[in-house]
């Protein structure tokens, strides 16, 4: 078994005219990993994904996918990828089942084998009873599941998921996560982009945070939290007072203070201790919440608030 990375990038750059979407990133994704790109809209996640999917040519830098050059061997690489794009592009003129069998033919899979896999995959994404129906009446979550099934039809070495749960309701998201988790358990290499922290924490072994076309942090979700945030976060509210007016007053408590319009975040290794200190200084917040630090805190620390839309 080769341990060569499935994705290898050095100083990868993508420009559209004067605009630099991806500005010199380095990446390595190993077989069996679940790897995530986290970042606000416009951070360069999708552009990177499109280069990995061999549908967009890098402007400069080195990129190797499955050990091959995407410019020269694009077609061969795509034959071993499964892609779930951000916008569904299922075929509205075909049935659910035909969407899979037709797609299988694009990979040169024999008809009978394509039918076998289609039936199996519909079972996997729990759409078997919709097999003969059209795509249009399916709900957003069902369509996304079908797209994922379609991405699996060639038994890919690497599955690319561009914002797989954007726009879905909570039930649909959880069902989708559960299916993706199973793929991961079965050893499929997943690469996904997301701007949902909970999604990244649920699914990714390792992730990079992108901002402005650059990678600003890299590691496992736990590692990122330990490195960039504190163990705990205290959320303080002060009735009708502006949280920002408390920044000076609470200076020195915890590692960092972050005023939001409605509350003040206080980063500290010891949340309860920090709360006691606040009271000791004579301030009585209208509400206090001590919680564990999440990836969301890391994300906000790293990418700033103004960028998030």
Out of 16, 71, 245, 289, name the contact with other proteins by CB under 8 A.
Answer: 16
Out of 11, 106, 287, 291, name the contact with other proteins by CB under 8 A.
Answer: 106
H helix or E strand, kind and range, residue 300: helix 295-303
Query: CA-CA distance, 24 to 61, in Å (whole number)?
Result: 7
User: What's the Cα-to-Cα distance from 156 to each of 66, 112, 295, rounded to whole Å?
Assistant: 11, 19, 29
Binding to other proteins by CB under 8 A, coded x per residue (else -) over 131-170, reads ---x-x-----------------x----------------
User: Is the Cβ–Cβ distance between 137 and 93 less than 8 Å?
Assistant: no
**How would you classify residue 147: left for phi > 0, otherwise alpha for psi between -120 and 50, otherwise beta?**
alpha
Question: Among 59-67, 79-87, 247-255, 276-284, which window interacts with other proteins (CB under 8 A)?
Answer: 79-87
User: Is the Cβ–Cβ distance between 246 and 283 less than 8 Å?
Assistant: yes
Q: Which of 50/173 has CB closer to other proteins? A: 50
Question: Among 94-102, 188-196, 226-234, 262-270, which window interacts with other proteins (CB under 8 A)?
Answer: 94-102
- Judged by CB under 8 A, does residue 70 bind other proteins? no
- Give the strands of the sheet with 19-29, arranged side by side: 19-29, 7-16, 60-65
Provide the H-helix boundaries in 186-270. 197-203, 221-228
- Judged by CB under 8 A, does residue 97 bind other proteins? no
Long-range Cβ contact pairs of 251-260 (< 8 A, separation 24 or more): 253/277, 253/278, 253/281, 254/230, 255/230, 256/230, 256/301, 258/300, 258/301, 260/305
- Judged by CB under 8 A, does residue 92 bind other proteins? yes
Report in angstroms how near the CB of residue 75 gets to other proteins at its nearest: 5
User: Is the Cβ–Cβ distance between 43 and 213 less than 8 Å?
Assistant: yes
- Residue 275 phi/psi, 5-degree rounding, is -65, -40
Q: Which of 105/305 has CB closer to other proteins? A: 105
- Judged by CB under 8 A, does residue 4 bind other proteins? no
Q: Which of 14/173 has CB closer to other proteins? A: 14
- Judged by CB under 8 A, does residue 194 bind other proteins? no
Report in angstroms how near the CB of residue 135 gets to other proteins at its nearest: 9
Out of 45, 50, 145, 184, name the contact with other proteins by CB under 8 A.
Answer: 50
Site residues (CB under 8 A) for other proteins?
16, 50, 53, 55-57, 75-76, 78-79, 81, 83, 85, 87, 89-94, 98, 102-103, 105-108, 134, 136, 154
């Amino acid at each position: 078994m080769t341990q060569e990375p499935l994705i290898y990038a050095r100083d990868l750059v993508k420009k559209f005219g004067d605009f630099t979407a991806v500005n010199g990133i380095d990446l390595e994704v190993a077989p069996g990993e679940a790897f995530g790109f986290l970042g606000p809209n416009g951070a360069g996640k999708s552009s990177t994904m499109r280069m990995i999917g061999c549908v967009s040519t890098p402007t400069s830098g080195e990129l190797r996918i499955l050990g091959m050059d995407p410019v020269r061997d694009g077609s061969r690489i795509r034959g071993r990828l499964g892609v779930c794009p951000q916008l569904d592009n299922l075929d509205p003129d075909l049935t659910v089942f035909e969407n899979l069998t037709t797609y299988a033919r694009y990979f040169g899979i024999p008809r009978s084998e394509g039918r076998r896999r289609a039936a199996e995959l519909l079972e996997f994404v729990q759409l078997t009873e919709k097999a003969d129906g059209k795509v249009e009446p399916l709900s957003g979550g069902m369509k996304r599941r079908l797209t994922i099934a379609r991405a699996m039809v060639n038994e890919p070495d690497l599955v690319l998921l561009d914002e797989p749960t954007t726009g879905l309701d909570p039930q649909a998201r959880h069902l989708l996560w559960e299916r993706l988790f199973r793929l991961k358990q079965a050893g499929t290499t997943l690469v996904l982009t997301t701007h949902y922290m909970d999604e990244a924490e649920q699914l990714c072994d390792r992730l990079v945070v992108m901002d402005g076309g650059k990678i600003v942090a890299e590691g496992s979700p736990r590692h990122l939290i330990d490195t960039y945030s504190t163990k705990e976060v205290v959320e303080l509210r002060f009735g009708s007072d502006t949280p920002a007016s408390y920044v000076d007053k609470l200076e020195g408590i915890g590692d960092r203070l972050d005023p939001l319009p409605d509350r003040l975040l206080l980063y500290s290794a010891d949340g309860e201790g920090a709360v006691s200190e606040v009271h000791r200084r004579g301030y009585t917040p209208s509400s206090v919440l001590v919680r564990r630090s999440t990836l969301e805190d890391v994300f906000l620390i790293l990418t700033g608030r103004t960028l998030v839309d």
